[in-house]
Amino acid sequence: MKASDLGKDYQEARTNMIHTHETWRVLLDIAYAKLSTEKGFKSRVREGSLSSLILERSSRVVAQLPTGRIRSLSRRDQGKAMLMDLVWTKYVIPNAKSQWSFMTKLRMWDYYSLIYGAMPVQYDYRVDEDYVGPDFRVINPTECFPQVGNTSLNDCDAVYIVTYHSKRYLQSRMKFKDWNRASVQTILDKVTEKHQPSDAKETATNLQQERGEAATLHQGQITLVTRYERGKNGRWITFAPDFENIVVRNIKNPHESGRIPVVFKYAIPLIDSLWGMGDVERGASLQRAIDTSVNLNLDFSKFKIFPPMWYKGDAVDPSLMRYEPGGKIRTANGQSDFGFVNPGASPSNEFQATYQFLKGALLNQNGTTDTTISASDGLPGFGRTPEALSKLEKRENARDQWDRNMFEEAYEELVDGMINLIGTKQSVPIKFHVFDDEILDIIKSGHKDLLDIFDSAKGYRIGTDPETGENGMVEYINAHGTAEMKIDHTKLSGKWMYRIDAGTTAANDQKDEYERVYNLVELLSSQAGAWLMDGAQEDGRKVNRTELLDQLIAASGIKNKDKIFDPYTQENDKTKPFTPDMLNDPQMMSALQQQLQGQSEEQSQALRGMQQSQEVQQLQPMEAA
């Protein structure tokens, strides 16, 4: 593709997004609860209900890192798939933190999708001093330009992504063979320290302008645009639009999957728009109406505090009539020489009814409620009885579940793309720390495709169990129960897919979680539980009571739970078996007497009888040997 054609196609994609970008600026102001500042007596306040609603929804939907399982598309690599789970959780997630931490990026991905309608992230293979492996970054939607004429990202043959880089970054690219050194040098010769990208002002938000950041946005940086084409024969073409669209890199799509490395998380997909629709856009008109009502009421409050004053004059001069707080109105006639305008209380009463109605409509639109709205406000769907609140909670959960499903679908696509980069592009061994139980679980699974991997693992070796004669015994060099795994990256080649555990991004209510675990404990303690455990033992399984206890304690929310139990061994067990000699120990007898207080007379007599019997035995002479 020629440089001129690249520039023309890119500009067409930008032009197609002009009106969308203008709409996004307005939506961002609503999401940030910002209003443009203007001088004058008019109130400029954003009420902020919609801003809080989307933040709360995002916090509920992505409350914690999701869990899932990596599966191999080949039967021969089923064991390696278990190991890939460890690679993902122990190696990729802690290190894939360009821009922000892994979890922060996921939360931003969901939050901004509720504003823009769709939020893009880009994944690729990262190579630097800190980390070698797959990573992803959150993309500003104003810097993402899908192919014109499509209503779905999956239908696009190409996507343009805009990035801004320093001169130092471009200089570092000179050592890579896939970068055109002559083109890079041409740009470096032309760029100045005060160079301002031509599109910087177009992408500046109102918040950046208000903070004074827009004037120096991307100053001294160079705009690079990359065209990502779909397909194994597609090209990744990077060019500089401010420097006659000079191409600095043109490579074949390095991802074996042939995908465009961009994933959209949608709030609400639309059949007639590639960018979908977010909660902010749906509720924008109601939020504006609420803001107008609030600001009018504040203006009215100013009139009540500083009412306009009238005074007698020979004639009314309309140009001098100022109906504003503290204004003066000249009149021709009057009973006194001056006075103050009485605005009355009617507008204030109207505000209460209007505000309650608009607030209820906004909450209803988002499937939620708060205790400030009730059926008495003319909104029958907002009762305050326990039954009504339960129904409203179900509506909120249903709306959250929709957004959670959209997030999980996008997250699966993202992880699919990232883990397959490990199998096709990983160039160095993978190192991470593990606990002994994690390795034992994998090795005891019996998958033969793991033997060659664990033979090379630092601190481990596969041996033969002397009791069973089976493979699977592991020796540890590290005496602390942990070790550094070092896995040959060539052993992880293959194709993988990721399946998320549905609903794992939601935070469990601690009280509900405790009740669920406690109910399970009660079930297993019952006659029915004994029958279930007997059946499990027949199938070669048993209940892990230690794990069940740990989960019960964790759900209880008890602090310092690690201090409740001390390590137990036969050697440190201070419990002594009962012997008759203990009845002669004054301390032992005192303790027993205290325990027996309040118990039956028969138990106390039994204890005294045991003492008397022991005394009689001690008085009997020993028989001659």
Top-confidence residue, 492 or 465: 492
Which tokens hold the place of 244? 């006659």
pLDDT tens, position by position, 16-58: 999 999 999 999 999 999 876 655 557 788 888 999 999 999 9
- Name beta bridge partners: 119: 265
Cα dist. 589→203, 574, 594, 595, 607 in Å?
84, 18, 9, 10, 9
Gap between the Cα atoms of 44 and 389, Å rounded: 34
Residue 357 phi/psi, 5-degree rounding, is -65, -50
pLDDT score for 548: 82
- 612 pLDDT above the threshold of 90: no
Query: Are the beta carbons of 429 and 488 closer than 8 angstroms?
Result: yes
Q: Between the ranges 156-170, 391-405, 415-429, where is the mean pLDDT highest?
A: 156-170
pLDDT score for 611: 53
Q: For residue 114, what pLDDT band results from cuts at 50, 70 and 90?
A: very high
Task: Supply the DSSP string of 445-460, one letter for each residue.
Answer: T--GGGHHHHTTSTT-
Query: Are the beta carbons of 248 and 224 closer than 8 angstroms?
Result: yes
pLDDT score for 216: 74
Query: Are the beta carbons of 159 and 144 closer than 8 angstroms?
Result: yes
Least reliable range by pLDDT among 10-14, 133-137, 331-335, 563-567: 331-335
Kindly state the DSSP code that residue 151 receives in the 8-state scheme: S
State percent of the chain over pLDDT 70.
68
For the packed helices 527-538 and 510-525, what is the interaxial angle rounded to 10 degrees? 80
Query: Are the beta carbons of 370 and 401 closer than 8 angstroms?
Result: no
pLDDT score for 279: 94
pLDDT score for 464: 46
Give me the mean pLDDT over the 86-105 stretch.
Answer: 92
Mean pLDDT across the chain? 78
Closest CA to 285 of 350, 361, 354: 361
Q: Calculate ∠ Cα 180-181-186, nearest 5°.
A: 105
Least reliable range by pLDDT among 182-186, 218-222, 576-580: 576-580
Residue pointed to by tokens 């067990």: 573
Q: For residue 234, what pLDDT band results from cuts at 50, 70 and 90?
A: very high
- 108 pLDDT above the threshold of 90: yes
Top-confidence residue, 584 or 171: 171
Checking DSSP bridges between strand 309-312 and strand 328-331, what pairing results, if any?
Answer: parallel
pLDDT score for 413: 95
pLDDT tens, position by position, 590-604: 665 665 555 555 555
Q: Between the ranges 295-299, 373-377, 476-480, 571-575, where is the mean pLDDT highest?
A: 295-299
Top-confidence residue, 192 or 47: 47
Q: For residue 457, what pLDDT band results from cuts at 50, 70 and 90?
A: very low
Top-confidence residue, 181 or 434: 181
- Domain edges within the chain: 283-391, 510-563, 583-614
Top-confidence residue, 201 or 553: 553
- 82 pLDDT above the threshold of 60: yes
CA terminus-to-terminus distance, the chain = 113
Top-confidence residue, 249 or 530: 249
Gap between the Cα atoms of 367 and 509, Å rounded: 20
Gap between the Cα atoms of 232 and 258, Å rounded: 4
- Model pTM? 0.74
- 520 pLDDT above the threshold of 60: yes
- Cβ neighbours of 320 (radius 10 Å): 11
pLDDT tens, position by position, 238-251: 999 999 999 999 99
Residue pointed to by tokens 């579940």: 401
Gap between the Cα atoms of 58 and 45, Å rounded: 24
pLDDT score for 534: 86
Gap between the Cα atoms of 204 and 22, Å rounded: 11
Give me the mean pLDDT over the 596-618 stretch.
Answer: 53
Cα dist. 228→11, 236, 420 in Å?
16, 5, 18
Which tokens hold the place of 436? 């002994």
pLDDT tens, position by position, 422-441: 878 877 878 877 766 676 66
Gap between the Cα atoms of 81 and 495, Å rounded: 10
